[in-house]
Structure 1
Amino acid sequence: MNTIYQSYQLSERFEVAFNQIHDSLKSIVKINDDRFKTLLDIGVRKHQIINQYYNDLKQYAKLRNSLVHDKKELGYYIAEPHLDVVTHIEKIASIFNRPNYALMIATKEVITVNYDENIINTFQTIKRYGYSQYPVYRNKECVGLLATGDIVKWMTENVRNAVVELAEIKVKDVLKTVRNHPIEFAAKSIDIFSVEDIFENKHKNKIYLEAVIITENGKSDELPLGMVTAWDLIEIDYTVD
């Protein structure tokens, strides 16, 4: 294989990968503007995958413009991207293109508590699993989210002479006296980008969503298959190496 053919192949591979990423950005960001830089700048504020590769993609956009705009004839590029650069952008393109289901990052073992359960039993559940949030179910339907901090707050507000009587207290009694924890439901087919959009849209309306509970069809009366919090989205690790 001669040098000219190798150069052409690397440049063409780079351009193909860049175009794949551009198409993916259009699908992810969903705005009425197809410009790569605009998609990148808006998307970085909403999606972790774009944030992770933002600086790389800015540089690749400059290289792509040089390759395309300075091309003098078919098959001839004025600059040749290094093989490492081509390999890297191809790996990024594959990450952007592959289906990223939200269940991939969701907490798989969702531990629930019963609305009418005695709070002492809930203490045992918390001690066993150590989670900070538990979906609450009443008659097989999710009616809210119980946080361990809610219990502490309730206890501090109901202490009498350094004693809190818990024998007759149920989960519902705690839920009725603490702030609501906004949650949403989504089907198991939902992807990570769509979950990020749910959090972003709620935030725009000054609703600070605490979790998206994933069920078979996105209904509140189905068993939870996973739960995604805002922290889970921050912790997404998109690795190309």
Structure 2
Amino acid sequence: MNTTTYSLSERYEVAFNQIHDALKKQLKSRSDRFTSLVHSGRHHKIISTYQDELFQYAKLRNALVHEKTELGYYIAEPHPEVVERIEKIARVLHSPNYALTIATKEVIFFHLEDRIEDVISAIKACNYSQYPVYEGNRCLGLLTAKSIVKWLAERMMGSIVDLSDVKIQDVFEVEKRPPLTFQARTSTIFDVEECFEHYHQQKLDIEAVIITENGRDDETPLGIVTAWDLIEIDYTSD
């Protein structure tokens, strides 16, 4: 949009409507009221970051629109800084980043028949704490550093643990695995947050979302997104 052609009020109203449309598209809410959508979407980092501002923008929009006395006439003009700010939020909400932009992309994965020593070496070299485990072409779940430590602690004899004949399968199948979910390469951060929220509402936890080409468990992992990755997103930076 050529912002020099429109008044500040017109730009403000357009940006507000773009945000409203984006919220309706992204959120599965029973209500399409703007404030209800903002409230219901607060589990999304992108919405919670701007929540207070969005509530204030709704009040200003109501004042500008509902108190019109004729077409093209507004009772006041918002400050340019306010208009630029709401336009920025509209851009962020209307085109959320792909989940891969925040994912760990150098995914190291193993197969059930691999040695547990290989996983421990990867932990030392890469400092990752989660590794997808495959049986054939199908991903079965994540092997975590925490589960390895627990397995070792339960089997230590003095200060020595013999790992020479231990396979990943020996460690992987002992502990109950949390649910695992997959998303396609085209998934957005919104989509991944909805996955975490879906399981949370069922009182279940997932350790991560694995990104593959088409969101199938028989495809090579392209990235892993954890709950911590979502927390770390900073929408306040330009």
**Aligned 1:1-241 pairs, distance under 5 A:** 9-44=7-42, 46-239=43-236, 241=238
1:102 deviates by 1.2
Structure 2: which 5+ residue stretches go unaligned? none
Q: For 2:15 and 2:122, locate their aligned partners in 1 and report how far apart those are by CA, in whole Å.
A: 49
Q: Judge conservation of contact 1:91–1:240 (CA < 8 Å) in 2.
A: no
Quote the residue 1:3 is aligned against.
none
Q: Deviations over 1:187-231 (max 9, x none)?
A: 111122111111111111121011111111111111001111111
Instruction: Please state how far the C-alpha of 1:239 moved relative to its aligned partner.
Output: 4.2
Specify the SS of the correspondent of 1:180: coil
Q: Any conservation in 2 of the 1:103–1:188 contact (CA below 8 Å)?
A: yes
Distance change (3 Å), C-alpha of 1:23 and 1:188: same
TM-score using structure 1 length: 0.92
TM-score (norm 2): 0.93
| Contact 1:188–1:215, Cα closer than 8 Å, also in 2 | yes
Deviations 1:21-76 (A, max 9, x none): 011111111222111110111111x2111001111111111111111111111122
Aligned residues with identical type, % of pairs: 55
In the superposition, relative to structure 1, how do residues 240 and 63 fare at CA in structure 2: closer, same or farther (>3 Å)? farther
Task: Summarize the Cα distance change of 1:12–1:240 in structure 2 as closer, same or farther, 3 Å threshold.
Answer: farther
Q: Which amino acid aligns with 2:7?
A: Q
SS at the partner of 2:7?
Answer: helix
Contact 2:96-2:190 at 8 Å conserved across structures: no
Mapped to 2, the partners of 1:122 and 1:233 lie a distance apart of 26
Judge conservation of contact 1:111–1:134 (CA < 8 Å) in 2.
yes
Distance in 2, Cα, partners of 1:43 & 1:121: 42
- Partner SS for 1:160: coil
- Equivalent position amino acid for 1:188 in 2: R
Contact 2:98 2:187 in 1 (8 A): yes
Q: Post-superposition shift, 1:163? A: 2.2
Q: Distance in 2 between matches of 1:116 and 1:216?
A: 25
Pairwise CA distance, 1:238: 2.2
Deviating above 6 A after TM superposition, structure 1's stretches of 4 or more consecutive aligned residues are: none
**d(CA) in 1 for partners of 2:25, 2:45:** 15
Mapped to 1, the partners of 2:96 and 2:31 lie a distance apart of 24
Residue 100 of structure 1 and its aligned partner are, at CA, apart by: 2.2
Count residues with an aligned counterpart. 234
Q: Which consecutive residues of structure 1, in runs of 5 or more, have no partner in the other structure?
A: 1-5
